Amino acid sequence: MLESKIIFGIPGFWKDRTDIVKTIAEKSGGYLFLGGILSRTDTKDFFDVEIYGHDKQLKEAFSYAGSFSSEQLGAIEKHSCTLYVIGKGGSIEDANKMLDVGLALLNAGGIAVKVESSGVAHTVENWTSAAQAKEIHNTFRSFVTFVGEEEFYYSCGMHCLGYPDVVVLKDDYNPSEVVKLMETFLLYNLYEKPVLKSGETFSIDINSPYYILNHKPCTYFEEEHPFYNPYGVWELKKK
């Protein structure tokens, strides 16, 4: 199985590499950036970091991926460079470490976060709240998003946490109802850690429809794609 990776980008107004190194050392709260490695001094955890210059399309990318005010998008548009961080995924613990890394870089001058492993973006306030809480549902919402295609709805980002994503074929479903179904199913997996098998059923409650579970490989993205889930996908089909 491929190793799960978490990748996110943080734009900021750093002048140059020297400014990045200095500011991280002074304001991150315990991280050092040397070479292409960001390390946490108290735990010895390390993360790969790549620096990219100004991207004129970044404002648009963030506007599609999250909820930002015009002022926040204006700041993103004026960024000088973006730090792309690559770390280990595959568990809640790993995801929480990446929340801490993101918070450290925001404290060191970052202005927003876009998770390239799922396509969801967050304001400083939202990311900070999740990093400080370290609660499962906050970590979940930091890395997982929901997408609607022509024939189906699906989640994206559960590989960051070490679990399969979920897909629901479109019939006559209300989009908000489908999101509730998918979110409930995924949080049930995170909180209860059930051992599920294809052919079993799932329902939100006794008054809701039952869905037949079918575990499949992730075929919606190539293995090299950041969205690819090596843990597969649960397909939910109404019984």
Region 130-145: what's the mean pLDDT?
Answer: 97
Beta bridge partners of 213: 236
Question: What confidence tens digit (pLDDT) does each residue in 170-218 have?
Answer: 875 677 788 899 999 999 999 999 999 999 999 998 888 899 999 999 9
Question: What confidence tens digit (pLDDT) does each residue in 27-84 have?
Answer: 999 999 999 999 999 998 999 999 999 999 999 999 999 999 999 999 999 999 999 9
pLDDT for res 172: 58
pLDDT for res 212: 95
Question: What confidence tens digit (pLDDT) does each residue in 77-123 have?
Answer: 999 999 999 999 999 999 999 999 999 999 999 999 999 999 999 99
pLDDT for res 190: 98
- Confidence class for position 16, pLDDT limits 50, 70, 90: very high
Closest listed residue to residue 190, CA positions, set 225, 149, 157: 157
Reduced 3-state DSSP string for 32-65: EEECCEEEECCCCCEEEEEEEECCCCHHHHHHHH
* Domain parsing of the chain, residue ranges: 5-139, 145-238
- Paired tokens of 10: 């943080």
User: What is the distance between the alpha carbons of residues 69 and 63, in angstroms, rounded to a whole number?
Assistant: 9
